[in-house]
Structure formats: C-alpha cells, structure tokens
Amino acid sequence: MRKILSESSGIPAKKIEPHHYFDKDLGMDSLDAVEAIMNAEETFGIAIPDEVLEKMVQVEMMEKYLIQMLKGS
C-alpha cells in the first residue's frame, strides 16, 4: 500500500508512516486519494465501499482494512 501511496503522493514509500494522514502529511488532494484507492483496488482485487472510503484518512486505516479484506474477514 505504501508503494501505491508513494506513486500518488510523490513521497518515497520508506518515508510513509502508518500515522500519516493522506492530506496533511502526504499532501494528497481528493483526486490523488481516489487514484491511490483505485490502484489499491486493482492491485489487491477488492472493491472498497464508498461508506468505508469516506472514513479512511490515514495510512494505518487503509492498511488495516486491506489486511482484513485479504484475510476474508
């Protein structure tokens, strides 16, 4: 996920931390966030519902959700 966020934000993946917020820490606007989410959905073969997306504002939130989905929970 951090590689995907890196591609959308321009920040090296190794500098992206779980506590980072997409907007204030990574400088991503809503279009950047949508692009990253679409890339994540394609990469991991999942669909993230809009109601879940609205609450995702931090790297850690996205990572936890992806892990949950990939484990089938």
CATH number for the domain that contains residue 26: 1.10.1200.10
Point out the catalytic residue in the list 23, 29, 32, 50.
29
Residue 19's SS3 state is: coil
The pTM (predicted TM-score) of the whole model is: 0.84
Taking each helix axis as running N to C, give the angle between helix 2-9 and helix 59-71, from 0 to 180 degrees, rounded to the nearest 10.
140
- The domain in which residue 39 lies consists of 2-71
Residues 6 or more apart whose CB falls under 8 angstroms from that of 61 comprise 55
32 is catalytic: no
Q: Mean pLDDT score of the chain, rounded to an integer?
A: 91
Mean per-residue pLDDT, 26-35: 90
Structural domains counted in the chain = 1
Unique residue bearing structure tokens 């820490």 = 25
Q: What percent of the chain is predicted at pLDDT more than 70? A: 99
